[in-house]
Amino acid sequence: MTQSDAELVVLAQAGDPAALGVLLARHEAGMRAVALSVLGYGPDAEDAVQDTMLVALRRIGEVRDPSAVGPWLRAIVRNNSRTALRRPRAVPVAEPEWFSRPADTPTPEEALDRAAMRDWVWHSIEQLSEPDRLVTLLRYFSDASSYEQIAAVCGVPVGTVRSRLNHARRALAGGLRTAATTSHADVAASNDTRWREGRDMIATAMGGDFERVVRESWWPDAQMIVPGGPRGDRDLAIKGMNSDLAAGVRQRLRNVAASGDVLIWETDLISPPDDPEHCPPAALWLQVLREGRVRQLTLFHPVPARA
């Protein structure tokens, strides 16, 4: 028996990605018709539809009349399309609202933890190519989220960042359309493991034994990159950490974002009391792994040190 829109909305609001996938597949033609009526044929119309699918993942809980979900979806497409007309740009106009990070709303991790659909999200991110996955994690799950910061971390032009994010968003929207026939394992255990490993390694480093962390978890030929600064090997990382410890700098793990072979740590840097502006307030450790060990670390400070 075919489920009604209202029944599917109730299931989707309870965290069932398959129900949302069925809803979006059912109303995709109507959404595309609205986009085409405003924007005409072309990639902008497709982008407006894809953005709406991602917005729906974030805002399905706001639907008060489940039987009217079709008009709700078409209204979002219409708004996205009108925005595209007013503000033409090289990438899709509306950032997916479920990824947004305004100060008065939950972080992406908190929002995802409240919905069973987080498993689909992380699975889909893991299916992206390494370059697309990297910019996605930085854009939506780290403090280095501006195009300029992502470009600096990745060592690529801003235009490349925009292109990769555009490609990643298309892939995520496409994945949501197929969620109805896909099931995924719970990611909570994997995330807990990454957090535990990060806390243990930072604690060991703060105890003065960062060299052991590096020798055990980095490949012998691993590289370290500091955008706008030095480039070296494992010894550079060990030397830098030991120098900070000698100066009285401490680090505290604040955030972990991981998918496949990309691992991001964000730490608070705590300068010594007698030199409160010794270092920037935060650091981002972008670690690219091979078989679970670090093959490249990029160390980036999202917020520059005060003059």
Predicted confidence (pLDDT) per residue in 186-207, tens digit: 566 777 889 999 999 999 999 9
Alpha-carbon distance 289 to 217, whole Å? Answer: 10
Find the Cα–Cα–Cα–Cα dihedral 134, 140, 146, 152, rounded to 10°: -20
Mean pLDDT of the chain: 82
Query: Which ranges constitute the DSSP H helices of the chain?
Result: 5-13, 17-39, 43-59, 69-86, 108-113, 118-127, 130-141, 147-154, 158-177, 188-206, 210-217, 234-246
Q: Above 70 in pLDDT, residue 1?
A: no
Q: So what's the pLDDT on residue 119? A: 65
Q: So what's the pLDDT on residue 277? A: 87
Sign of dihedral through CA atoms 36, 82, 166, 155?
Answer: positive
pTM of whole model > 0.85? no
pLDDT band at 182 (very low <50, low <70, confident <90, very high): low
Cβ partners under 8 Å of residue 115, min gap 6: 15
The tokens of 304 are what?
Answer: 């520059």
Q: What is the DSSP letter of 16?
A: -
The tokens of 169 are what?
Answer: 């968003």
Q: Which helix (H) or strand (E) segment is 284 a member of?
A: strand 282-290
pLDDT in tens, 254-271: 999 998 899 999 999 999
The more confident residue out of 169 and 98 is 169
Find out whether 25 and 180 touch, Cβ atoms under 8 Å. yes
The more confident residue out of 229 and 270 is 270
Give me the mean pLDDT over the 5-21 stretch: 82
pLDDT band at 181 (very low <50, low <70, confident <90, very high): low
Alpha-carbon distance 49 to 173, whole Å? Answer: 9
Q: So what's the pLDDT on residue 94? A: 37
Q: Above 90 in pLDDT, residue 251?
A: yes
The tokens of 13 are what?
Answer: 């609001």
**Minimum mean pLDDT among 33-42, 46-55, 282-291: which range?**
46-55
Report the DSSP pairing between strands 262-270 and 218-225.
unpaired
Give me the mean pLDDT over the 121-147 stretch: 86
